[in-house]
Structure formats: structure tokens, C-alpha cells
Amino acid sequence: MELYLLHPEKHRQLYGCINITVEDVPLEERQHIPEGIIFIALAAFYYYVIAFHLFWEGTFAVAIPLLYIVFALLFYAKSRKLEASKQVSKQQKLMLLQVFIISMLNFVTCSVYVSMMYIVPSKILIHFATFCWLHIHGFPPVIYLAFNPTIQKDAKQMWFSVLRRCKGQTKTKKS
């Protein structure tokens, strides 16, 4: 450090490679054949884009939404036949909507992350992917709470019991 700070000319001479050119090192000493072969083999292995992989991901990208559309159509046809049980039909519709929303969040997030492997992502795409990832991990409880009456009832009971405990503790502190 002293050499760098106090004698920069001497430091440049010793460590700056000013006096060395490519021609000073013989070609035989600059060749690293085993390392080069390993590097080329690993690059070919790691960066090779497999066509089957693209086909598989493309199939899922098309098949999952198609399956949900078919399922929704079959569900609609079944609910038209069973007009007698309106309550069960309403619960089934809410369940279908819950599953559909969560699955579509997963589908969009997976599609964005897969597309980021094949294109250079912009800053907006990176932010969108992060936003989607946060939502698939944090939004399902909100969906369940919004659509499921049993979970709503249990959440209200839990919330009121916590409020009662807090209210009881404030009364005992004031006394």
C-alpha cells in the first residue's frame, strides 16, 4: 500500500504491465488446451437450448388455460342442469373462481420468468416479474379470505377475540 500511495511510478512499473506486450509471451505459453476444451464443452452444455424444452413449456403455456376453459364450460353446463341446489352452486362457483385466480397468477408469473430466460428483460419486465412473484406468495390468503365464508367467519372470530383481549388488558391497566 505504501508503494501505491507514496511511489506510484514504481508501483506502475512493477505491477502495471507497461513493459509487457503480447509478443513477449510465446504462443505455446499462451495456449491452455485442456482448460479451453473444458470451457467449450461446459458452454455448449449449459447454453444449449433444447427444442424439447421449448415444446414442453409451450405446451404448458397453452394447455393450462385451455384446461381451465374446458373445466369452466363443463362446470357451467353442470350448474345449468342442477338448478335445484343454488347454495351449493354458489359455493362451487366461488371455489372455481378462487382456484382460477390463483392458477392464473401462477401461470402469468411462470410465463414471465420463462420468457426472461429467452429475451433480455427490461427493467419494467423485471419489476413486473418481482411484483407477480410477490403476489403468488402473498395474495392467496387474501383470495381465500374474500371468497370463502368459513375462513371469513373464523377470521372474524379470531379478530374479535384478539380485540377483546386487548380491550381487557387496557381496562386492567387503567384500574
Same domain, 66 and 137: yes
pLDDT band at 154 (very low <50, low <70, confident <90, very high): very high
Structural domains in the chain (count): 2
- Say if residue 34 is in the same domain as residue 57: no
Same domain, 129 and 77: yes
Domain shared by 79 and 17, yes or no: no
Does the residue 40 lie in any domain? yes
Do 80 and 151 fall within a single domain?
Answer: yes
Q: For residue 121, tell me if it sits in a domain.
A: yes
* Claim to verify: residue 42 and residue 110 sit in the same structural domain: no
Residue 94 lies in a domain: yes
Domain limits at 9? 2-46
Query: Which pLDDT belongs to residue 78?
Result: 78
pLDDT at 161: 92
Residues 6 or more apart whose Cβ sits within 8 Å of residue 148: 94, 98
At 84 the pLDDT is 56
Is the domain of 10 the same as that of 89?
no
For residue range 100-153, what is the model confidence (pLDDT) as tens digits?
Answer: 888 888 888 888 888 887 888 899 988 988 888 888 888 888 888 888 888 999
> Are 64 and 27 contained in the same domain?
no
Pair 42, 58 in one domain: no
The reply to whether 172 falls in a domain is no
Q: Which of 15-29, 33-47, 112-126 has the lowest mean pLDDT?
A: 15-29
Distance CA 110, CA 107 (A): 5
pLDDT at 156: 94
In this structure, which amino acid lies at residue 137? H
More confident residue, 85 or 7: 7
Do 79 and 132 belong to one domain? yes
Q: Is residue 174 part of a domain?
A: no
- Label residue 157 by pLDDT band (50, 70, 90): very high
Do both 81 and 40 map to the same domain? no
HSE-CB for 158 with a 13 A CA cutoff: 7
Count CA within 13 A, CB hemisphere, residue 9: 0
* Residue 170 counted as domain residue: no
Higher pLDDT, 114 or 57: 114
Q: What is the mean pLDDT of the chain?
A: 81
Residue 60 has pLDDT above 80, yes or no: no
Rg over CA atoms, the chain: 32
Q: What's residue 173's pLDDT?
A: 58
Instruction: Flag whether 130 is in a domain.
Output: yes
